[in-house]
C-alpha cells in the first residue's frame, strides 16, 4: 500500500523541479530533436526512438515508436508501441544546459503473444491486449554540447491493459 503512491510522488517531484530549474534557450522553435532511447522498468527493456519538432518557443509535437520483447511462463511477447505527444518546455526560467518539459500523448500498443510449445488450447487468444492508451509524462534533457543531450523521460500510462509507470533514457540529437 505504501509503495502505490511512489510513482505519483516521483512524478510530482520531477514536475516541481522542472518548474524551478527550466532552461532558457535549449529548446528552440523550428528545430527537430531525435532521441534514440531504451526503457527503464522492472520487467523488460524496450528500445525505440522519439522525434519532436518545436512548433513554438515552448511547445513541441512529436511521436515515439518502441519495441518490447519479453517472456513470461509459457509465452513469448512482442509489443510495438506507437504514440504521438505534445510537450510544454519550461523555457522562461534560468538553468544552463537543461531543458525540462511536461506533456501528454495518445498511443496504441500492438501486442503479440506466442505460446512457447506452439500448442494453443481451444478458444485461447493468440494475440494480446492491444489497444489505446493515454500517456502523461515529464522529462528533461541535459545538453553536453549545443547539439547533443542526455535525455530522461518518465511516462505514466493511465488507460489500457499496459498502463503503468516507466522511464526512458536516451541521447538527443538536435537536428536543423
pLDDT tens digits, 30-41: 999 999 999 987
- What pLDDT is attached to residue 12? 53
DSSP, collapsed to helix, strand or coil, labels residue 12 as helix
**% of residues, the chain, pLDDT over 90:** 48
Residue 169 has pLDDT above 80, yes or no: yes
Q: Are 85 and 104 in contact (CB under 8 A)?
A: yes
DSSP annotation string for 70-123: EEETTEEEEEEEEEEEEEEE--SS--TTEEEEEEEEEEEEEEEEEETTS-PPTT
d(Cα 135, Cα 160) in Å, to the nearest integer?
Answer: 10
- What pLDDT is attached to residue 86? 98
Cell of 45: 527493456
Q: What are the boundaries of each domain within the chain?
A: 2-175
Beta pairing partners, 102 = 88, 138
Give pTM, 2 decimals: 0.78
d(Cα 31, Cα 41) in Å, to the nearest integer?
Answer: 30
Q: Mean of the pLDDT values across residues 30-59?
A: 93
Minimum mean pLDDT range among 65-74, 76-85, 116-125, 158-167: 116-125
DSSP, collapsed to helix, strand or coil, labels residue 129 as coil
DSSP letter assigned to residue 140: E
Greater model confidence, 93 or 123: 93
Greater model confidence, 95 or 124: 95
With residue 175 as reference, give the H or E element that holds it: strand 164-175
Q: Are 104 and 136 in contact (CB under 8 A)?
A: yes
CATH class assigned to 2-175: mainly beta
- What pLDDT is attached to residue 160? 67
The most confident of the ranges 25-29, 94-98, 165-169 is 165-169
Phi/psi class of residue 73: alpha, beta or left (left: φ > 0; alpha: ψ in -120 to 50)?
left
d(Cα 144, Cα 175) in Å, to the nearest integer?
Answer: 15
What would the pLDDT profile of 94-114 be if each residue is shown by its tens digit? 778 999 999 999 999 888 877
| Residue in the block written with cell 522519439 | 50
Of the candidates 90, 22, 86, 32, which has an alpha carbon nearest to the alpha carbon of residue 60? Answer: 86
Amino acid at each position: 500500500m505504501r509503495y502505490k503512491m511512489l510513482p505519483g510522488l516521483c512524478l510530482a517531484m520531477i514536475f516541481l523541479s522542472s518548474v524551478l530549474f527550466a532552461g532558457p534557450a535549449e529548446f528552440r522553435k523550428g528545430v527537430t530533436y531525435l532521441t534514440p532511447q531504451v526503457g527503464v522498468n522492472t520487467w523488460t527493456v524496450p528500445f525505440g526512438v522519439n522525434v519532436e519538432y518545436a512548433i513554438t518557443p515552448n511547445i513541441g509535437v512529436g511521436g515515439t515508436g518502441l519495441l518490447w520483447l519479453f517472456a513470461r511462463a509459457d509465452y513469448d511477447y512482442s509489443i510495438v508501441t506507437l504514440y504521438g505527444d505534445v510537450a510544454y518546455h519550461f523555457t522562461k526560467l534560468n538553468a544552463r544546459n537543461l531543458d525540462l518539459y511536461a506533456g501528454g500523448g495518445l498511443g496504441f500498443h500492438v501486442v503479440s503473444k506466442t505460446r512457447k510449445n506452439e500448442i494453443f488450447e481451444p478458444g485461447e487468444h493468440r494475440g494480446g491486449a492491444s489497444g489505446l492508451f493515454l500517456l502523461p509524462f515529464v522529462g528533461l534533457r541535459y545538453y553536453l554540447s549545443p547539439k547533443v543531450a542526455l535525455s530522461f523521460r518518465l511516462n505514466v500510462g493511465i488507460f489500457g491493459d499496459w498502463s503503468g509507470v516507466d522511464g526512458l533514457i536516451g541521447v538527443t540529437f538536435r537536428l536543423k
